[in-house]
Amino acid sequence: MGEQEKIRVLSVDDHPLLSEGIATIINSQPDMELISQASSGTEAIQRYREHQPDVTLMDLRLPDLSGIDAMIAIRTEFPEARIIMLTTFEGDVEIHRALQAGARAYLLKNMPPSEIVDVIRQVRAGKKRVPPEIAAQLAEHMGDDELTAREVEVLRKVAGGNRNRDIADLLFISEETVKVHVKHIMDKLGAKDRTQAIAIAVRRGIIEL
Amino acid sequence: MGEQEKIRVLSVDDHPLLSEGIATIINSQPDMELISQASSGTEAIQRYREHQPDVTLMDLRLPDLSGIDAMIAIRTEFPEARIIMLTTFEGDVEIHRALQAGARAYLLKNMPPSEIVDVIRQVRAGKKRVPPEIAAQLAEHMGDDELTAREVEVLRKVAGGNRNRDIADLLFISEETVKVHVKHIMDKLGAKDRTQAIAIAVRRGIIEL
DNA sequence: GTGTTCATACCACGAACGGGGTATTGAAAA
DNA sequence: TTTTCAATACCCCGTTCGTGGTATGAACAC
């Protein structure tokens, strides 16, 4: 394999320690080279424009934009961009959104380096790859209705310990409407009460605390 | 500074990527050397016995034991062991426990490497060090009563969406007693209702979801 | 243009929750 | 030994929650 055929990788992560680890792993592969790094979403977009890497490793959680937004921005400009989401586990909502938005693979930060570089090679070859444990998570809630934006908004207020009456005042709607939203939320999440709804929503990554 | 005075560091982390980053950072310091690594609690204890490092970097969350338990085991055998907890943020309960159990410092994985190596030097010199943002977290709830074991147990059932009646049956106590526990939980956490109690408890690391 | 989804709103009712108080027991600490 | 605290238990009572049903207007898709 000639030098000029090395896989050119861009890494985007705001954890310096992780970046360092990724750099070491990538550069220890004979067929890869890390051409640039970024530690924020806007920087990622700039670096992509500059280098147009073969594969981009992107953290989901970044200081400015979310990794998904950064990916969308890049893919709007470069629709063929091959981006791998690399993150600590964050519930299946974000995973689903990332794959919808065109991520070629979704990897966890605790995976062995061998698997990570393997996936980079596959993605560069045009394949997609989602590890089984994540695919299982996705399949688990495939048919589930997603919460609407309004429902998520209500859910956050619920998590704040607000009564229906208070939420109604905060959102300038009637208490009855809040009750309808809460009911729909519980139905969709399969929760027995509002408390479990919060627990489930946090696990799925629908809301953060 | 002579070669024999290098700070001998043991790193314990089950994330290979992180371990790699730590190794790179440590070994790039002229006054430090990474003498061994472990990826589990029991392995950490063995490695400590073998090498008796000057400073140990320990992840809080490990496959077998918790980082705190591993630290306690090591410090029982080697009371002067200098151990730094290095972790992604996990609520202040674990931080507090780690410092109680004798951790010399508590660092976050997203800190710049310069700060990490700096703290390693200070700890080796016998100092303790907790970064301001963490110290603030600790001070925030200093006077707070901690939840009792029973209360935490009840809290978990609450998070599962159980009614007081159900929790009573699960724990073989009366519903009235459950209500007393729930009331105490809400009082101690400063929660307006059981739902907010879950939100607060998760944020503080009292329970996981 | 018809159907679907979402957000809105109201009503009624029983179940669950949260606040107040009091009290007994056992264990741990002072 | 006395005190303190945790866990247990019971009562009363007002508030909130969750469930059922029905309905309307706007937006969007087919």
Average pLDDT over residues B15-33: 96
The pLDDT > 90 percentage for chain A reads 87
* Cβ A159 to strand D below 7 Å: no
Task: Return the residue matching tokens 């009456």.
Answer: A165
Give chain B positions within 8 Å (CB) of A25: 17, 20
* Cβ A80 to strand D below 7 Å: no
d(CA A202, CA A206): 6
CATH 3.40.50.2300 segments of chain A: 3-140
pLDDT at B124 over 90: yes
- For the record, the structure tokens of A181 come out as 């939203």
Residue-wise over A78-110: b if at least 16 C-beta within 10 A, else e?
eeebbbbbbbeebbbbbbbbbbeebbbbbbbbe
Q: What is the pLDDT of residue B4?
A: 64
Give chain B's radius of gyration (CA, Å): 20
Q: pLDDT tens digits for A21-73?
A: 999 999 999 999 999 999 999 999 999 999 999 999 999 999 999 999 999 99
pLDDT at A3 over 80: no
Q: Provide the H-helix boundaries in chain B.
A: 16-27, 41-51, 67-77, 91-100, 113-124, 132-140, 149-159, 164-171, 175-189, 194-204
Domain formed by B3-140, architecture: 3-Layer(aba) Sandwich (3.40)
Q: Cα dist. A31→A6, A26, A86, A121 in Å?
A: 5, 9, 20, 9
Among A21, A27, A32, residue whose Cα is nearest residue A124:
A32
Q: What is the DSSP letter of B61?
A: B
Q: What pTM was computed for the model? A: 0.94
Average pLDDT over residues B104-122: 95
Confidence of residue B145 (pLDDT cuts 50, 70, 90): confident
Confidence of residue A170 (pLDDT cuts 50, 70, 90): very high
Among B160, B17, B131, residue whose Cα is nearest residue A197:
B160
Q: Domain A149-203 has what CATH class? A: mainly alpha
Q: Among A161, A163, A192, whose Cβ lies nearest the Cβ of B191?
A: A161
Q: pLDDT tens digits for B152-203?
A: 999 999 999 999 999 999 999 999 999 999 999 999 999 999 999 999 999 9
Give chain B positions within 8 Å (CB) of A193: 161, 163
Average pLDDT over residues A157-167: 98
pLDDT at B3 over 80: no
Q: What is the pLDDT of residue A133?
A: 86
pLDDT at B98 over 80: yes
Residues written for chain A: 209
Q: Which residues have CB under 8 Å from B61's CB, separation 6+?
A: B14, B67, B87, B90
The pLDDT > 70 percentage for chain A reads 98
Please say whether the dihedral angle defined by the alpha carbons of residues A27, A29, A30 and A31, taken in this order, is positive or negative. negative
Chain B 142-161 residues in 7 Å CB range of strand D: 145, 148-151
Edge-to-edge strand ranges of the sheet holding B105-108: B32-38, B7-12, B55-59, B83-87, B105-108
